[in-house]
């Protein structure tokens, strides 16, 4: 199976989110940034960073943005097949697992 391109990854995750979930890109003037910020019904935020590498790393801007917003979930999507904790509050997972986590909220 060919890997999804970046816009398709966003579309896949947005489609899996519960109805009424706004999707945004977050960026501050100081460079704090989140690729996909989902505001779930009820107000919980999910911060999702999407990387192409099989050995993904988060940039400092993602951590700063999460400190500003305090999202309920922090997810790093990558093209691999395994899921693991990158840190206490950040999960690395393939897009399928992230989509399934969103679908489970419905």
Q: What digits encode the pLDDT tens for the residues 23-71?
A: 999 999 999 999 999 999 999 999 999 999 999 999 999 999 999 999 9
**pTM given for the model:** 0.91
pLDDT above 90 covers a percentage of the chain that reads: 87
Give the chain as a 3 state SS string: CCCCCHHHHHHHHHHHCCCCCCEEEEECCCCCEEEEEEECCCCCEEEEEECCCCCCCCCHHHHHHHHHHCCCEEEEEECCCCCEEEECCEEEEEHHHHHHHHHCCC
Mean pLDDT of the residues in the chain: 92
Sequence spans of domains, the chain? 6-103
Superfamily of domain 6-103: TBP-interacting protein, N-terminal domain (3.40.1350.70)
């Amino acid at each position: 199976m060919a890997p999804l391109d970046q816009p398709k990854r966003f579309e896949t995750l947005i489609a899996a989110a519960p109805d009424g979930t706004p999707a945004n890109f977050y960026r501050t003037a100081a460079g704090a940034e989140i690729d996909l910020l989902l505001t779930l019904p009820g107000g919980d935020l999910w911060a999702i960073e999407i990387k192409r590498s099989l050995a993904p790393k988060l940039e400092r801007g993602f951590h700063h943005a999460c400190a500003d917003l305090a999202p309920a979930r922090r997810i790093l999507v990558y093209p691999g097949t395994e899921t693991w904790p990158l840190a206490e509050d950040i999960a690395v997972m393939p897009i399928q697992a992230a989509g399934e986590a969103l679908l489970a909220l419905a």
